[in-house]
Structure 1
Amino acid sequence: MEHLLGLLKIKVLKGVNLAIRDVSLRTSDPYVIVKMGSQKLKTRVVKKSTNPEWNEELTLSIDDPNLPIKVLVYDKDTFTLDDKMGDAEFNMGPFLEAQKMPLDRVTSGTVISKVQPSRENCYAEESPIIWKDGKVVQTMVLRLRNVERGEVELEIHWVDIPGSRGLAM
């Protein structure tokens, strides 16, 4: 527990215009894996969709905030290995910087900062970091790599753990 900084809640919202992997049906059965270091979390499979809605919350224990968070999308297959549908990654740096700010007097809904899309990241559009209902929340649309098309929408927020070393690094 003394090495743990806190928890990162990742809400996997949806996939947009994902690749077709079940060619005969012109659809896919996608699911998402979120990886960070040795941690690996998975959403449920959404059958027959290239625009799936998961709205599923996954929780990572954070002890090294410098590790990237990897998002991998797969198509579930019954008799063969699952097909890759692309990947993306993001780093928590800007989000954690916003998390450390003194925000107790900030109005809910205030944009604290924004992460701009660039060639060095997987953001498909500007990603706002917002003070919302007493917590810092970042919404993001990640463009999938190594695939012909597709994006995944996520929302993240931080949870402090009593007894952890917290973000005051």
Structure 2
Amino acid sequence: MITSDPYVVLKLGKQTVKTSVINSNLNPVWNQVLILSVPADFGPLGLKVFDQDMFSSDDYMGEAEVDLQPLIASAMAFGDAGVLEDMQIGKWLQTHDNALKEDSTVNIIDGRVKQKVSLVLQNVECGEIDLELEWIPL
């Protein structure tokens, strides 16, 4: 493979969102904000990476799941993050059962609950993806 035109599809419950396509890039940076509502009976956030093809079906490039429980439980436990100092409030540990590249901490940063996640893509030879999740209470 010389190049690809990757995009990511994220799915949470019945909701699906998609990044834009980054043309001719093996190391894309989307830097996009995608918003999903967390349903009461939420499961993992699924993501699949594809290579857009003009004349055939898009090629599958890997997938991963994000356990939202550490982020949501931490955010709910600390309440209004806007009145708190910057600090770590939770952690999702890397194990052989998940796609985490390394442990991922949940932090309050500038009054917002955020979590940076580095994932190893599953069901492919290689590939990684980095996300920044943010909990926005309604």
Q: Same fold (TM over 0.5)?
A: yes
- Separation of aligned partners in 2, 1:111 and 1:72: 29
Q: 2:71 aligns with which of 95, 102, 108?
A: 95
Corresponding residue of 2:23: 47
Could you say which structure has the larger radius of gyration? 1
Q: 2:117 aligns with which of 140, 144, 159?
A: 140
Q: 1:84 aligns with which of 52, 60, 84?
A: 60
Deviation string 1:56-115 (CA, Å, 9 cap, x unpaired) is: 11111122353111010000000000000000001211111110123566422x112221
- Separation of aligned partners in 1, 2:135 and 2:30: 20
AA aligned to 2:116 is T
Q: 2:85 aligns with which of 95, 100, 107?
A: 107
Higher relative contact order, structure no. (Cα contacts within 8 Å, ≥ 6 residues apart): 1
1:160 equivalent to 2:131? Answer no
Calculate the TM-score normalised by the size of structure 2. 0.92
- Separation of aligned partners in 2, 1:55 and 1:98: 25
Instruction: State the percentage of identical aligned residues.
Output: 37
AA aligned to 2:106 is I
What is the number of equivalent residue pairs in this alignment? 136
**Secondary structure of 2:77 counterpart:** coil
Asked if 2 retains the 8 angstrom alpha-carbon contact of 1:87 and 1:145, the reply is yes
AA aligned to 2:72 is L
Q: 2:105 aligns with which of 128, 131, 143?
A: 128
AA aligned to 2:85 is T
Q: RMSD value over aligned CA atoms?
A: 1.4
- Separation of aligned partners in 1, 2:37 and 2:91: 24
* Structure ranking higher in helix proportion: 2
- Separation of aligned partners in 1, 2:46 and 2:53: 22
Corresponding residue of 1:164: none
